Structure formats: C-alpha cells, structure tokens
Amino acid sequence: MPQPLFDLTYANLPDGLYTLYQPEPAPDPKMVFLNNGLAAELSLDQDWLRSEDGLNFLTGQQPGDITPIAMAYSGHQFGGFSPQLGDGRAALIGEILDGDGIRHDIHLKGSGRTPYSRGGDGKAALRAVLKEYVFSESLAALGIPTTRSLAAITTGETVERQKMHPGAIVVRTAQSHIRVGTFQYARLRQDESTLKALADYTLERLYSQINGANPYAQLLTQVIDRQAKLVAKWMSFGFIHGVMNTDNMAISGETIDFGPCAFMEAFRANQVFSSIDRRGRYAWNKQPEMAYWNLTRFAESLLPLLHTDEDKAVAIAETELAKFSTSFSGAFNELMLAKLGLGTDAENAGAFLQATLSLLTTTQTDFTLFYRRLTDSVQTSDNSTFLALFTDPARAKQWLNTFSKQSPNPEIMAVNNPIYIPRFAQVETALEAAENGELSKIKQLLDAIKKPFDEHEAYANLVKPNQQKGIPQQTYCET
C-alpha cells in the first residue's frame, strides 16, 4: 500500500503567509469514521488510510518530504478586527489531485498548539469533530459547496472544555482553505508583492478560467457570485452558519468552519443559535447582509491590485460589489420557488413566495417539514399530513388553495426538499452518546443525512422534531 502522491503548493508562497509546523503526536490514534465515498473521489486507498502509515499521515506525523504548515490570516470577528489569527489548532498537511485534476487540501484540526494559538490548547473534543463531520456531510449531500470530512480520529487524550471530553482530530478536505482573512492579512503586511503572489496563486488554483484584462477585478466578481449563491443555498435549506467572520469565508465559495451552526426548525427569520451572537449579527435573515459586508473587506484588500489609482480602484470595487444583490436575489428566488415546484417565470411568482414566507412567519411552522409534507401532498393529492402541521389550519388551507392553482412540479419539489437534516436535539443526543462510547445514534444520523431526499422506514425517528425537554437550543464554538 504505497503512500498516495501528496504535495504542498501553498508552501511556495511567501513564508509570511504561513509557518512551518509539526503537529503534536497523538498518543493512541484510533479511526472512528473514515469517509469511504470521499476517499474514493480523491482516489485514496482506504486500506492505506486505515493502516499505521495512513493514521500517521492523517494525524500529521507522516514521513516524507512534506512539512505541514499552519496558515496565517486576519479576521473581523463579530465586526471587530483581529490582525493576526491563523490556524490555532489546525495544519495543512498536504494536497492531492482528484481524478479530474482538481487540487484538494488535506487539512487537520485538533492536533495541538501552533504559533497562532493565542493561549488555546490547540486540541479538539470528539463532539466538535463529529459535529463538523455530520454537518459538512449533510451540506455536501444537499448540494451545498462545503469542506468535507475525510476522517474522524480519536487521539487517546482528554481535553477540557465545559467538562472533560475525549480528544480527537477531524481531517477535512477543501479546494482551498484561503479565506477573506488571508487576503486581509496579506494586505496588512503592506507588501504588494505578497498580496499579488497570493492573488495569482488563487487565480491559478481556483479560477483558472479567468483571463484577459484586470484578472483581479474578475477574481472579485467571481468570489462575489460564488458567495451570493452559497448563502442562498444555505438559506433555502434553513442552514445558519452562526459565525460568518471574515476568517470563516473561503475564497473558493465553500462552507468552512462548523462551530455554532444549526438547521432552523420552527421558522423564525431572525433565528440565532450561537451562544455568543447576542445581537443576532449572523441570524438566518442577516446572512446575505453579512456576506456582503465580508466581501467588502475582501474588495478592500484587493484595492492595490485593482488599479494603481486608488479612486479608480475603489470605483472598480464598488461596481463589482453592487452585483452581489442581483446574484443573491436571483439565486434565492430560484431556489425557494423550486421548493414549491415553481419556476421564476410562474405568474406572480415573487408575490406568492412572499406569501409563503409570511405564512411560515405567522405560524412558525417547521421549515423542513413544511416543504417536505407539501411535496408529499402534491405527489399523493392528500393534504392531511401537511395541514396537520398547523394548530389552526384555516390560513394554511387558504394558502393551499392558491398554491394548487400554480401547477407545481412534484419532481422538482422532491429533489429540493429533504426529508432528513441534522436536527438540533438529535445531534446533541447523538454527540453525547458518542462521547460515552455509543456510536449507533451518530451512525444512523450520518446514514440518513447522506441520502437526505430518500425516505427509509429505519430513519422514521429522525423525521420529526425531537420534543425532548432540557436540551437548550443554543450552540457553542467548542474550540
């Protein structure tokens, strides 16, 4: 079982953008989950990944010529700027080309202190590792661009957060871990050659289709478009990222860093789950605004490359940023209407979508169940299970009468309205059980969310909201 061909092109950038870093050895590494499907996509030998050499690689102890690195970046965190953040408990340990020639990072979290740890222990608790595994795989199955979880590995240590937890490492992949904060950090150095090197590398790696005049303006355009469409997809499934800081926005347009994230259940447009988001900065309905805010910071970082004349550079940035609203609105309306089995050309489509959101707001109906039971009702011509969602179904019946006249397409609805999402209480229960050595609940949850549109009787317990009392609807970064 020879080791796959890994390299590390990011280390060819100016060394100010990273620090060479040797992850701490795991005393007793054990594979908890290996993502066989993702391994196959990356042409990685599953037997090798499970071998002693594979575990050494996946915990950052690999032999060979590659020296892992901790990436440097800045970040606005809840609006406040931190000039130096960086990988405080993570390492980029390699890159690999998939069968289509697309480069992917192999990046681990939880391997110990780095030069950017800022007093933290650099470790990760098993529950945080498994949470990232569940949510990243759920988003991937829903067709939302995201980092992926390749493996979850226990280290044989314990780490202290609110209490003692088993220590673990999550090994994740992404087309890149370059963030808005990476560009902020490069700009802060006031070294245009470093900024240009980072931008050129990003263009070559992620946006190789860009050519012609002013590629940096085109880079800004493409990143704006990807982020607008990403946030629209999040919202169409009720996903709330929870911590949309600039260091948590990937230039690739992938969802990155799963801390206080969750899927909204009862519909509240201003829903917040994060324990530290006391002012609702990253609520469900604020995510487009915050994406635009972050992209403005990205544009500011690119100004020296957009034009040598600062006023002209600002004008270019403002022109490109103005496109965000159109990109987001177009994507959001299309996705939300698809959930209703309608196209954007349907008569009064926009007004009907607003009426739908108004119904959800007034009734605070479960977001996922609303659309899925509506799908079932269209497929079976039986509205009873849909109307059962409402305490007072009178308004829902009125809405349903209007909806039925729209000629919804049930096939479109079926592929846009999942049955299974990682519901809050179910995730908490599964994580608690996993930390106590019982993996059956987390395995069942993973099996269900990896095929979210396919109904299986064995997963019936995962369809309805968990009414278990005593589990607060609040999430934590757990870093």
Catalytic residue at 247? Answer: yes
Nearest C-alpha neighbor of 91 from the set 62, 71, 119, 117: 71
CA distance 153 to 78: 31
3-state secondary structure labels for all residues of the chain: CCCCCCECHHHHCCHHHEEECCCCCCCCCEEEEECHHHHHHCCCCHHHHHCHHHHHHHCCCCCCCCCCEEECCCEEECCEEECCCCCCCEEEEEEEECCCCCEEEEEEECECCCCCCCCCCCECEHHHHHHHHHHHHHHHHCCCCECEEEEEEEEEEEEECCCEEEEEEEEEEECCCCEHHHHHHHHHCCCHHHHHHHHHHHHHHHCCCCCCCCHHHHHHHHHHHHHHHHHHHHHHCCEECCCCCHHHCECCCCECCCCCCEECCECCCCCCCECCCCCCCCCHHHHHHHHHHHHHHHHHHHHHHHCCCHHHHHHHHHHHHCHHHHHHHHHHHHHHHHHCCCCCCCCCHHHHHHHHHHHHHHHCCEHHHHHHHHHHHHHHCCCHHHHCCCCCCHHHHHHHHHHHCCCCCHHHHHCCCCCCCCCHHHHHHHHHHHHCCCCHHHHHHHHHHCCCCCCCHHHHHHCCCCCCCCCCCCECCCC
Please identify which of the residues 121, 247, 366, 376 carries the catalytic annotation: 247
In whole angstroms, what is the distance from residue 169 CA to residue 110 CA?
5
Active site residue ranges: 247
